[in-house]
Structures are given as C-alpha cells and as structure tokens.
Amino acid sequence: MIALLLRDLKLAFRAGGGFGLGLAFFLIVTVLVPFSVGPQSSLLSTIAPGVLWLGALLACLLSLDRLLALDWEDGSLDLLATAPLPLEAVVTIKALAHWLTTGLPLVLAAPFLGVLLNLPVPGFSWLVISLLIGTPAMSVIGTFGAALTVGLKRGGLLLSLLVLPLYVPTLIFGAEVARRGATGMETQTPLLMLAGITAATIALLPFASAAVLRINLR
C-alpha cells in the first residue's frame, strides 16, 4: 500500500504529472475575483470565505478525471486488480494521493489567497480548519466519481455532473464554517456537520468505489 502511495506521489511530481494544476487554477480564480466584482474591500471580505471555498472545490474537480484514467489506459488497473491488494485499499490510497497532491496544497495556499480577498483576520484559522476537514471528502467523493466513469471516452463531463451534487453538502457546511468564523459567530454546528460528512464518505465510499471499479473492469 505504501508502495502504491509513493508511486502515485512520484508520478504526480514528475514531469507530466498533475501536481500544481489545481493550485494554479485556485490562484487564478482568486486573483480574478477582485477584478470582476470591484475593489470594495467590505464586499470582498463578505464574499471571501465563499469564493475561497468555491475556488478550492473547482480546483479539486479539475484533476479528478486523471485520477484513475491513466492507470486504466496503460493497463495497470487490471494488474492492480489481480494483485494481493484489495481494490478498496487501492481506491483509498488513490484518494489519499489525490488529497496530498491537490487538497493539501489548496489548504496551505488558502490563507495567502485570503489576504487578496481581504478575509477578516479571525476567518483565517477557520478557513484552514474547514478546508482541512472538507477537502478529504472531496478527494474521496471524486475517486468514487472517477471509478464510475473510468473507461468511458470523454468521461470528464459526466464525472463533473455526477460529482458536483455530491460536493454540495461539503461546500455548504465548509463555506458556512469559514463565513461564521470570519464574522466571529459560533462555528460548532456547521463544523460538526462538515466533519460528519467527511467521516461518512471516508467510511463508506471506498467500498462503493471498489464495487463499481470491479464492474467497470469487466
């Protein structure tokens, strides 16, 4: 399992890997927002938590169709399926590798981009906490979507359509935590909901992903 994780990380960081794509997209979206809505700092600080969360979500979505497609195309998914590793573990590791190369950099970059959007000072820690808890769910849900659409030609569009509704609860509660944190309100309820969604997806979706992958490999 460690070998698979290390290989995926190595592939992401080497030339042609997907590392940096999501981060660059996140940066572009956040930099462009002040240009499109105007430079009023009060308006920017109001919308900052939501914009940062939306940017992170879309950046996550961008790299999903490569998550399993590359392994499918070169046949290594077939070989992994005949290996002693259970497919549930394979998809979990794939999701973890996706989070480490896409989700975690977004979490780390978010406070710096928060400055660009005039995010109120108390909001920084809540933004990082909410993204830290929410992004793993996005990787796990994304892996499920990738498993559903693997092997389909031009599956990227279908993947986005399938995954977006599943991202909505995470987006609602994640952005709510950051928004409430930024305005100094109580954050416990949305934070618990967000954590609950993440825990449930991590607990359940790897089994669903492995099951659909088995069917798709036939």
Residues 159-178: x where in contact with other proteins by CB under 8 A, - otherwise, as a string: --------------------
Minimum distance, C-beta of residue 86 to other proteins, in the bound complex (Å): 11
Give the C-alpha separation, 138 to 95, whole Å.
9
The verdict on 3 binding other proteins (CB under 8 A) reads yes
Minimum distance, C-beta of residue 19 to other proteins, in the bound complex (Å): 12
Of 73 and 200, CB closest to other proteins: 73
The verdict on 86 binding other proteins (CB under 8 A) reads no
Of 39 and 84, CB closest to other proteins: 84
Minimum distance, C-beta of residue 200 to other proteins, in the bound complex (Å): 29
Of 7 and 204, CB closest to other proteins: 7
Minimum distance, C-beta of residue 5 to other proteins, in the bound complex (Å): 11
Minimum distance, C-beta of residue 79 to other proteins, in the bound complex (Å): 4
State the SS3 of 179-203: HHHHCCCCCHHHHHHHHHHHHHHHH
The verdict on 17 binding other proteins (CB under 8 A) reads yes
Kindly list the residues in this chain that would bind other proteins in the complex (CB under 8 A).
2-4, 7, 10-11, 14-17, 71, 73-85, 217-218
